[in-house]
């Protein structure tokens, strides 16, 4: 077997360095490689959206409880008015 000459070793190393350099330039532009600060910023944005969603969810739960109470009040009011109307008709002689 023939041994590699120093020139061939340098050529192989320079080729590998060139490929790494080109990939380091191209991958962030394509979106396959992200910088740490970009990842951290995206996580911060995701956390903000999550907090906003949780706050909105709590508001919706409270609103739903209030609507349920209003429906109960409306049903009770309807029962009372129906009972008063029925009692009034019975007192007047069954009109």
Q: Give per-residue pLDDT as tens, 19-69.
A: 887 877 777 666 666 678 888 899 999 999 999 999 999 999 999 999 999
What is residue 7's predicted lDDT score, i.e. its pLDDT? 65
The yes-or-no verdict on residue 1 having pLDDT over 50 is no
Cα separation, 95 vs 45, whole angstroms: 68
CB atoms within 10 A of CB 20: 10
Average pLDDT (67-92) is: 94
SS (H, E, C) 52-74: HHHHHHHHHHHHHHHHHHHHHHH
Let me know: does 28 contact 34? Beta carbons within 8 Å. Answer: yes
Please determine, for residue 95, whether its predicted confidence score (pLDDT) is greater than 60.
no
């Amino acid at each position: 077997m023939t041994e590699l000459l120093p020139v061939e070793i340098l050529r192989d190393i320079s080729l590998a360095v060139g490929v790494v350099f080109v990939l380091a330039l191209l991958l962030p532009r394509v979106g396959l490689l992200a910088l740490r600060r970009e990842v951290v910023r995206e996580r911060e944005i995701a956390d903000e959206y999550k907090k906003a969603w949780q706050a909105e969810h709590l508001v919706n739960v409270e609103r739903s409880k209030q609507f349920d109470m209003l429906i109960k009040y409306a049903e009770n009011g309807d029962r009372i008015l129906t009972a008063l109307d029925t009692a009034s008709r019975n007192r007047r002689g069954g009109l």
